[in-house]
């Protein structure tokens, strides 16, 4: 009986560990469960990874940090994000170099309301490790102009203003399923110009990712999941400009039951982080 005791203890703790509830499960594009180690092994081979988050999802933000931090152990990393607009790159660089502090950055740049809790850890990860961090998004005022008047309004921008957006004319395919889905989601409020405004964001983020990508590095980009779900949005623009790079995508979804991935979420990305809908949100 004494000899069997260690085995019984091992079985007890194994069963107990399996029985523990987890706030998320990782799936591949087919809906098969994969572990973190396997996901990381595949991501480490990529040139560019698009991490699609839900903006208020705590698990998204935690994993963005953990994945990036772990990738840095084997790869040289460049970081970039939708959440900081291209015309704030100067202020961001000043913070990363130590020229200004976090209070000055908050005063000088247009930071999102949840920056302190959700994105500052990523920016500080870059700062602490002397990494490049790129502000990739189009300034919102220009996307709003397109929402009201279409692409042609961008021709009126100054040369400096045009340096903060993707080169004109921007490629555009209104038949992409995710763009058509915008019209469905918005109902009576959906317009062709609204889809164009979304495309200006995707095109601009793609432009600054490729502009700042360096051979031998892994560019880790953080964006709302809709901007890269189903291998469209930003990724469509990236592949339109450079088909030779190795791209990886991650999406985040929520479900009441995370133990089987819903059909609607399959094929959203290479890896799908399925989070329990009861998980605390950041706002």
Predicted confidence band of residue 185 (pLDDT cuts 50, 70, 90)? confident
Alpha helices by DSSP H, the chain: 4-19, 36-43, 58-71, 89-97, 102-108, 120-128, 140-149, 159-162, 177-186, 192-212, 234-241
Q: pLDDT digits over 195-218, tens only?
A: 999 999 999 999 999 999 999 999
Q: Model confidence over 45-81: pLDDT tens digits?
A: 999 999 999 999 999 999 999 999 999 999 999 999 9
Cβ of 240: how many Cβ atoms within 10 Å? Answer: 12
Domain residue spans of the chain: 65-113+123-248
Q: Provide the token pair at 230.
A: 């189903």
Residues of the chain above pLDDT 90, percent:
90
Q: pLDDT of 111-151, one tens digit each?
A: 999 999 999 999 999 999 999 999 999 999 999 999 999 99
Residue 53 CB neighbours (<10 A):
24
Q: Per the structure block, which two tokens stand in for 124?
A: 């500080």
As a residue count, the chain comes to 283
3-state secondary structure of 164: coil
| Burial degree of 122 (CB within 10 A; 0-12, 13-18, 19+) | buried
Q: Quick check: 218 and 77 in contact, CB under 8 A?
A: yes
Q: What is residue 183's predicted lDDT score, i.e. its pLDDT? A: 87
pLDDT score recorded for residue 13:
43
Q: In sequence order, what are the residues at sequence separation of 6 or more whose Cβ sits closer than 8 angstroms to the Cβ of residue 90?
A: none
- Contact indicator for 52, 229 with CB cutoff of 8 Å: yes
């Amino acid at each position: 009986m004494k000899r069997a005791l260690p085995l019984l203890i091992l079985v007890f703790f194994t069963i107990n560990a399996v029985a523990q509830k987890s706030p998320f499960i990782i799936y591949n594009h087919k809906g098969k469960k994969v572990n973190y180690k396997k996901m990381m092994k595949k991501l480490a081979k990529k040139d560019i990874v698009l991490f699609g988050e839900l903006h208020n999802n705590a698990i998204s933000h935690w994993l963005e940090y953990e994945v990036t931090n772990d990738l840095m152990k084997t790869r040289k990393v460049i970081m970039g994000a939708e959440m900081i607009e291209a015309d704030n790159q100067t202020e961001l660089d000043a913070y990363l170099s130590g020229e200004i502090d976090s209070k000055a950055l908050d005063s000088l740049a247009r930071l999102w309301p949840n920056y302190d809790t959700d994105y500052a850890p990523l920016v500080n990860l870059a700062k602490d490790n002397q990494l490049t961090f790129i502000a990739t998004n189009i300034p919102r005022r220009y996307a709003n102009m397109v929402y009201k008047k279409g692409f042609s309004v961008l021709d009126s921008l100054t040369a400096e203003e045009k340096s903060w957006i993707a080169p004109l004319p921007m490629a555009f395919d209104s038949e992409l399923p995710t763009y058509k889905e915008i019209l469905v989601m918005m109902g009576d409020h959906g317009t062709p110009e609204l889809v164009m405004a979304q495309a200006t964001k995707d095109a601009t983020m793609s432009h600054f990712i490729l502009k700042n990508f360096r051979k031998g590095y892994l560019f880790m980009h953080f964006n709302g999941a809709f901007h890269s779900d189903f291998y469209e949005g930003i990724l469509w623009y990236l592949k339109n400009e450079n088909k030779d790079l190795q791209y990886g995508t991650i999406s985040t979804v929520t479900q009441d039951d995370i133990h089987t991935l819903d059909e609607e979420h399959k094929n959203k990305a290479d890896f799908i982080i399925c989070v329990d809908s009861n998980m605390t949100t950041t706002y």
